[in-house]
Amino acid sequence: MKLGCCYYPEHWPEDRWADDAARMAAMGLSLVRIGEFAWSRIEPEPGHFDWGWLDRAIATLHGAGLAVILGTPTATPPKWLVDRMPDMVAIDADGRPRGFGSRRHYCFSHEGYRAECRRIVTALAQRYGQHPAVVMWQTDNEYGCHDTVLSFSDAAASAFRGWLAARYGTPEALNAAWGNVFWSMEYRSFAEVDPPNLTVTEANPAHWLDYRRFASDQVAHFNREQVNIIRAHSPGRDITHNFMGFFTEFDHHDVGRDIDVATWDSYPLGFLEQFWFSRDEKAAYLRQGHPDIAAFHHDLYRGCSGGRWGVMEQQPGPVNWARFNPAPLPGMVALWTLEACAHGAELTSYFRWRQAPFAQEQMHAGLLRPDSTEAEAAPEVRKAAARLAGIGPQVTARAPAALVFSYEAAWAVGIQPQGQSFRYLELVFECYSALRERGLDVDIVAPSADLSGYRMVLVPTLPIIPDGFAETLAGLISPVLIGPRSGSKTASFSIPEDLAPGALKAAIPLAVTRVESLRDGIAEPAEGFAVTRWREDVTSGLSPEITDGAGRGVVYRHGPIRYCAIWPDRALLRLLVERMAGEAGVDLFDLPEGVRVRRTGSHVFTFNYGAEPVAVPHIGATLAPASCHIAPR
Ligand code: GAL
């Protein structure tokens, strides 16, 4: 795994570049990502390019032995461009334009902006496509960051109408699919259809689902345009995009198919603070992040682009954007680096080289402080680089457990939660954690993945069953767990004719006759677990394998396949993982709290995410807080 950093030569006087580059190389870095926000310096006036500074910056980095990842600058269109076509900005759900003065102020559907992106990407790719320093391209920056996937602009509305016409052919077909007879919502032509925002009460969930699918396709298409241009002018170079954490607004499997390496931006402390974790977890892992946050995304993104992935931005210290921004425990930056390697990353790049003293992110740490002295992370990077050199290249093997992840499932649950604490990402994360805390390695895969080589398969929930998926599950001989709400919707967001789990009846014979959701704090006790959040009534010829306190079925089993009819709490997940592993003959570990294990082809990595030293039986040693033990397998 190579190490790198994110660098902004345009932020610093040119006479500092050579020293920066030399220090990067001395720290053990070999990659530098640049350029992704530099449009106003690359093209200060319309049609007038200033390549000089970028030529010299790349030459300086190259001269120090560093390879360059060059970003396309399309996340930050300059002011002159926005003034030339003011309708290129996205419109938010309340109908307000997303103005100039930060970043990502564009609508994916605006044809004029797309043409500008093709123009700037072509110019960049022509100039640097064959440059010996440029080894990888990054398209744009974090598609969707700051809530920018959905736009409700005229450009989006008109593109949506075209998308609907292509999907449904006739307005009658659309009306039938969406059930528009309800509340007299029928359309006579596609031209009559608007985006689903600004309705009096909720819009039709089928309307929302198609709007989300459409918006996701727009992101993929926007990205594909850049990829095609780069491939033409820069053959043989890898293309990546830097995805985000806990983010499901577009289908990353779709975008992942078009690029070579899926990278993501890892900010474990910010994510712990911003997402659903309990107060206790936020306190226990304040300076480390929950032990599964980074690993979850590593395993997710490894499955998004054919196995090649990396970390484009690694948190090096306090960030600026969470509600609270603690500093990592000493050792954590090295631990995060080694954890990425253990999951098969080909690069980890720190964000950013030097903390900026100006503008929005001046409170965001870097490897250097604004005065160029080394920040706390710098010696850890050197240490991590030395340990990586010591173990050599790592190979990733297929994990024993597969977790099926679907972006469409996240949209379906989000559009119609039915109970506000039914959160898709949380459910998947809990399943992941239940596997990881018993020492299992996990591959997070798309529903279309080949599941046949896995020893156990978990489908946390999959409301819309893709063609062929039920048959795939029915053909597996390994234990499978299917979570609640699976098969509960058709592709056009209706209840299946024969009730949930719809097509999944091919895998397990049962029908869901009623669902209920429970408010936070309600926990109806059962033996060894509790019913919280969600419960389904099931009729089936099968007798339940597990029941609740009142004797109602909770888990049904048909051969190797189980269906869970409630939101599975941690205790139930633990029990199910044990049963499935027992049936599959997979060994489990009794790991102390906060300890995680990950195997590569040659090594076993053991991590202590705890803030205290902990005795770890399988290595026969005590692990210091925020430390990693590496042993040959
Ligand atoms: C990422 C983004 C970077 C920077 C960073 C700060 O979301 O890609 O440009 O803003 O966060 O943590």
Question: Domains along the chain?
Answer: 2-156+207-391 (3.20.20.80), 401-584 (3.40.50.880), 595-632 (no CATH)
The DSSP code for 455 is S
Residue 133: what pLDDT? 98
Q: How far apart are the first and last CA of the chain?
A: 19
Q: Is 313 a catalytic residue?
A: yes
pLDDT tens string 227-241: 999 999 999 999 999
Number of H helices, E strands in the chain: 18, 24
Protein residue whose Cα sits closest to atom 11 of ligand 1: 265
Assess whether the C-beta atom of 142 lies below 6 angstroms from ligand 1: yes
Residue 570: what pLDDT? 98
Mutate which of 11, 37, 102, 145 for ligand 1? The one with the most ligand atoms within 8 Å of its CB, which is 145
pLDDT tens string 301-311: 999 999 999 99
- The one-letter amino acid code at 518 reads L
Distance of alpha carbon 423 from alpha carbon 427, whole angstroms: 6
Ligand 1 atom at minimal distance to the Cα of residue 145: 7
Residue 210: what pLDDT? 99
pLDDT tens string 27-37: 999 999 999 99
- The one-letter amino acid code at 522 reads I
Residue 514: what pLDDT? 98
- Using an 8 Å Cβ cutoff, are 309 and 349 in contact? no
pLDDT tens string 420-476: 999 999 999 999 999 999 999 999 999 999 999 999 999 999 999 999 999 999 999
Task: Name which of 65, 72, 70 is nearest 130 in CA terms.
Answer: 70
Q: Name the pLDDT band for 586 (thresholds 50, 70, 90).
A: very high
The tokens 């394998």 sit on which residue?
Answer: 545
The tokens 């911003």 sit on which residue?
Answer: 274
Assess whether the C-beta atom of 141 lies below 6 angstroms from ligand 1: yes
What number of other Cβ atoms are within 10 A of residue 461's Cβ? 25
Assess whether the C-beta atom of 351 lies below 6 angstroms from ligand 1: yes
pLDDT over 70, % of the chain: 100
Distance of alpha carbon 278 from alpha carbon 14, whole angstroms: 47
Alpha helices in 423-465 (DSSP H): 424-436
Q: Name the pLDDT band for 296 (thresholds 50, 70, 90).
A: very high
pLDDT tens string 404-418: 999 999 999 999 999
| Mean pLDDT of the region 359-380 | 98
Residue 93: what pLDDT? 98
- Select which of 43, 142, 273, 536 is catalytic: 142
Cα dist from 552 to 399, 481, 501, 538, 571, whole Å:
35, 19, 18, 9, 18
